[in-house]
Structure 1
């Protein structure tokens, strides 16, 4: 196992489950910091702002500056601005998505949006889904922060943003454009912002279909950890394998 200068960690299922930190990952990140390696966080979770994610990690004993955290909300807002300019946007989501959209210059509206953006919303209602479906059917751009069908909590797997976006897709017949992992915009933006080279980067995650595939598609090496969505014994069914597969990050020093 060689040395890497830029470690990119998924959060949900890799660093923590809900409010519970994963001790092996916390220890590993502390060790990387002590060695002076770069540590970054790449999360499909759109609910929190980078500043709020930083505070959450701090409460778990992990130091992380907001600029070291790339969220799907930030990447979504930047994608819309870069490709379509500032837009009137209808959104399903929480504070992280609203802040990112408004900070990028988009205007949140309830009627006649040019784009519908769907992020995780733990106060989802039928009315929100109906409004989004009607706007998409009327021709609004349909963008989703990520395609995660489920995400791990301390109680187990619960519905993720992909489940909400999929419901709207079923209702309208229109497929969303997904921004988050396994797409590569977040890793691309992170590398550009910090001047990172692909050969010095490695992606660490628990979900093969998002975290590991994002790293593979971006062209960097990957570590799968068996702490969340994808079990180690299920990796064999996938054609492209992660560079490393570990039960936990304690296994890194054992190999």
Structure 2
């Protein structure tokens, strides 16, 4: 593998890397402390669009993990940035929670179910048949279909939960229209995040626990990639993919000394 420039900026996934089912992963607090003290630009990323950065800052703080709001980048923020670039001041029918609706309000979007420019599908724990039916009819009528992320399932203490990708598949089956997914592994989310902190891909690294989203997104964005084994991916899973991370480590604790 070609020698890379020293790492000056860090991007890291949240679930499976820093926390697992609401509990900090050993080494996460020290890793974040080193980042803050180093002054290097960094972002904590999540494909989950439910929470605002302020919400996530508070949730992480209660676990003893200090991440400033400005260092949190969600698929909801990336989706809002994409829509603002594509069609400023547009309208959208949204299925999602405060993280997504707040991000769209902040860019000046109007949320409406009357001839919206877009149907935007995000994460929620209360998908309703009524809302999905309305989304399908609006897409049939010409609304463009956007989804925050392609994750098919999400973690919970009780087991897997259907996530945005699964619900998007239902809408696609009903309409024949595929969504444009903004979140990982779309490198758009990574590049927008890098731009937000003034970082460059050739001197940045991405840490994640999933090959199909975190590592792939980092790879396609031109970053160095680290896979941790504290989340969904097990060692035997790595070789099943046609691409590899720059390095596989047991946990975030193994990367503290690289900062």
Superposition TM-score, scaled by structure 2 size:
0.91
Query: How has the CA–CA distance of structure 1 residues 51 and 2 changed in structure 2, closer, same or farther, with 3 Å as cutoff?
Result: same
User: Residue 41 of structure 2 contacts residue 197 of structure 2 at CA under 8 Å; is this kept in 1?
Assistant: no
Bigger drift between 189-198 and 49-58 goes to: 189-198
Bigger drift between 110-119 and 17-26 goes to: 17-26
How far off its partner does 1:86 sit?
1.6
Identify the residue that residue 102 of structure 2 maps to in structure 1: 99
Which one of the candidate residues 57, 60, 70 is aligned to 1:57? 60
User: Residue 6 of structure 1 contacts residue 201 of structure 1 at CA under 8 Å; is this kept in 2?
Assistant: yes
In 1, Cα distance between equivalents of 2:157 and 2:28: 16
Identify the residue that residue 16 of structure 1 maps to in structure 2: 19
How far off its partner does 1:121 sit?
1.1
Superposition TM-score, scaled by structure 1 size:
0.92
How far off its partner does 1:253 sit?
6.6
User: Residue 4 of structure 1 contacts residue 37 of structure 1 at CA under 8 Å; is this kept in 2?
Assistant: no
Task: Work out whether 1:208 is the aligned partner of 2:211.
Answer: yes
Task: Work out whether 1:217 is the aligned partner of 2:220.
Answer: yes
Task: Work out whether 1:246 is the aligned partner of 2:249.
Answer: yes
What stretches of structure 2 of length at least 5 have no aligned partner?
Answer: none
Which one of the candidate residues 149, 154, 158 is aligned to 1:146? 149
Bigger drift between 116-125 and 9-18 goes to: 9-18
Task: Work out whether 1:84 is the aligned partner of 2:87.
Answer: yes
User: Residue 17 of structure 1 contacts residue 154 of structure 1 at CA under 8 Å; is this kept in 2?
Assistant: no
| Post-superposition CA distance 1:97-149 (Å, at most 9, x none) | 00001111111112322210000011111111111111111110100000011
Identify the residue that residue 133 of structure 1 maps to in structure 2: 136
Identify the residue that residue 124 of structure 1 maps to in structure 2: 127
| Post-superposition CA distance 1:156-207 (Å, at most 9, x none) | 4322211111111111110000100000222212222222122321101111
User: Residue 94 of structure 1 contacts residue 121 of structure 1 at CA under 8 Å; is this kept in 2?
Assistant: yes
Bigger drift between 24-33 and 101-110 goes to: 24-33
User: Residue 95 of structure 2 contacts residue 124 of structure 2 at CA under 8 Å; is this kept in 1?
Assistant: yes
In 2, Cα distance between equivalents of 1:190 and 1:43: 11
The number of equivalent residue pairs is: 255
| Post-superposition CA distance 1:12-53 (Å, at most 9, x none) | 222223422222333332333344443311211101111111
